[in-house]
């Protein structure tokens, strides 16, 4: 066995120490060790097993060329992830990912609480001792409180996860760490699927609440229509909380394994899309506030966020498609 490891070390010693090369070496070592033990169990001597394994190994240059590794950017001094670092990262993504999910949920609930406050003011719950316009102006306060809490959660979670920024670049994840992460990913897969189904179901059923409650008032009752919109936003907020919560957990596994959206091919796309998101969503929020405060359109301006989400999703998909076609 030691002969096989030394053979691989000598073969790979002349190659650049990139994440792709290290990953390839770990995979080959695993396959060669598995083949070695199969041969030993079949009755081969140690020397015979080693000779067969090495002879079936093939040409490393041809394999690297076939995988296109030689054309990829090679980086020196790439950090290697330890088991402790991987465990800490996965634990922190669960902990602080939950805070991010709560923050996103609060942002969606903010217009809902604004509409609720507006409804109870119009309904005369606070009486008439205070001018109605003044009360309506004060109704904006809960919205800003929720947004302020959400922003605080985003900042706090972001600062706690900043120490893992290096995972956005190339890094080496040893084979034993990969195996541990794969086990955790497989254990979480059933919950990931179930919770996503619940989230999608809530999103699909949310318009039913709006239509049903609005129908009670004959579609002409603005207050009931607003309550319908409030229930819709609450259902969407719960669904988005689920998506963000389970997405953060699953993404921690994908990031360590460098697969799906965290593969080398997708990292460039993610950076560009993230830059656009940092501009688009603040603009959408500004339009929402200007429309609501300047034109008293609180009952309808919430529609800015679902429209922005749809358009941004379309942009992300189109951008990824164009980049993929350009590389062909």
Render pLDDT for 5-37 as a digit per residue (tens, 0 to 9): 777 776 666 566 666 677 777 778 888 888 888
Is residue 328 one of the residues assigned to a domain? no
Evaluate if residue 76 carries a pLDDT over 60. no
Domain that residue 50 falls in: 2-71
Residue 175: Cβ-neighbour burial (10 angstroms; 0-12, 13-18, 19+):
middle
Is residue 303 one of the residues assigned to a domain? no
What is each CA distance from 198 to 191, 233, 235, 306, in whole angstroms?
A: 11, 16, 11, 19
Q: Which helix (H) or strand (E) holds 272?
A: helix 264-295
pTM above 0.85, yes or no: no
Evaluate if residue 218 carries a pLDDT over 70. no
- Domain check: are 117 and 256 in the same one? yes
Q: What total of structural domains would you count in the chain?
A: 2
Q: What pLDDT sits at residue 303? A: 75
What is each CA distance from 56 to 4, 8, 11, 40, 175, in whole angstroms?
A: 12, 13, 15, 15, 22
- Domain check: are 106 and 248 in the same one? yes
- Domain check: are 89 and 63 in the same one? no
- Domain check: are 94 and 44 in the same one? no
Domain-ending residue, one of 236, 262, 288: 262
Q: Looking at residues 233-249, what average pLDDT do you find?
A: 89
Q: Looking at residues 68-91, what average pLDDT do you find?
A: 71
Q: CA angle at residue 168 from 62 to 323, to 5 degrees?
A: 65
- Domain check: are 188 and 62 in the same one? no
Domain-ending residue, one of 227, 244, 262: 262
Of 85 and 264, the one with more pLDDT: 85
Domain-ending residue, one of 25, 44, 71: 71
- Domain check: are 27 and 114 in the same one? no
Is residue 317 one of the residues assigned to a domain? no
Of 190 and 76, the one with more pLDDT: 190
- Domain check: are 102 and 188 in the same one? yes
- Domain check: are 226 and 125 in the same one? yes
Is residue 36 one of the residues assigned to a domain? yes
Is residue 96 one of the residues assigned to a domain? yes
Write out pLDDT tens, residues 264-303: 555 555 555 666 666 776 787 778 767 766 676 656 776 7
Is residue 271 one of the residues assigned to a domain? no
- Domain check: are 100 and 214 in the same one? yes
Token look-up 């406050």 returns: 117
- Domain check: are 89 and 234 in the same one? yes
The two three-digit tokens of residue 4, written as one number? 């096989």
Is residue 148 one of the residues assigned to a domain? yes
Partners of 80 in the β-ladder: 172
- Domain check: are 43 and 89 in the same one? no
Listed in sequence order, the residues at least 6 apart from 234 whose beta carbon sits closer than 8 Å to its beta carbon are: 109, 112
Q: What pLDDT sits at residue 75? A: 44
- Domain check: are 171 and 240 in the same one? yes
Is residue 313 one of the residues assigned to a domain? no
């Amino acid at each position: 066995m030691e002969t096989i490891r030394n053979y691989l070390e000598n073969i790979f010693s002349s190659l650049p120490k990139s994440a792709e090369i290290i990953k390839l070496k770990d995979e080959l070592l695993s396959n060669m060790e598995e083949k070695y033990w199969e041969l030993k169990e079949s009755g081969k001597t140690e020397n015979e097993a080693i000779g067969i394994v090495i002879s079936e190994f093939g040409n490393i240059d041809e394999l690297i060329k076939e995988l296109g590794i030689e054309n990829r950017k090679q980086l020196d001094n790439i950090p290697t992830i330890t088991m402790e670092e991987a465990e800490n990262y996965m634990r922190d993504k669960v902990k602080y990912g939950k805070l991010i999910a709560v923050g996103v949920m609060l942002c969606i609930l903010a217009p809902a609480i604004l509409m609720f406050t507006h409804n109870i003011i119009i309904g005369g719950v606070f009486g008439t001792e205070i001018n109605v316009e003044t009360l309506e102006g004060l109704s904006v306060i809960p919205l800003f409180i929720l947004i302020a809490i959400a922003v605080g959660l985003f900042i706090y979670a972001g600062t706690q996860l900043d120490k893992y920024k290096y995972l956005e670049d190339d890094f080496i994840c040893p084979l034993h760490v990969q195996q541990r992460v794969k086990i955790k990913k497989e254990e979480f897969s059933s919950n990931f699927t179930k919770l996503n189904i619940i989230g999608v179901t809530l999103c699909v059923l949310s318009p039913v609440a709006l239509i049903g409650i609005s129908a009670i008032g004959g579609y002409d009752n603005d207050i009931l229509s607003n309550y319908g919109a409030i229930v819709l936003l609450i259902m969407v907020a719960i669904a988005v909380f689920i998506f963000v919560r389970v997405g953060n957990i699953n993404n921690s596994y994908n990031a360590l394994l460098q697969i799906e959206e965290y593969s080398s091919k997708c990292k460039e796309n993610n950076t560009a899309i993230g830059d656009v998101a940092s501009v688009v969503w603040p603009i959408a929020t500004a339009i929402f506030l200007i429309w609501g405060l300047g034109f008293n359109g609180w009952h309808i301006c919430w529609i800015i966020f679902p429209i922005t989400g749809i358009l941004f999703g379309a942009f992300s998909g189109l951008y990824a498609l164009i980049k993929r076609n350009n590389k062909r």
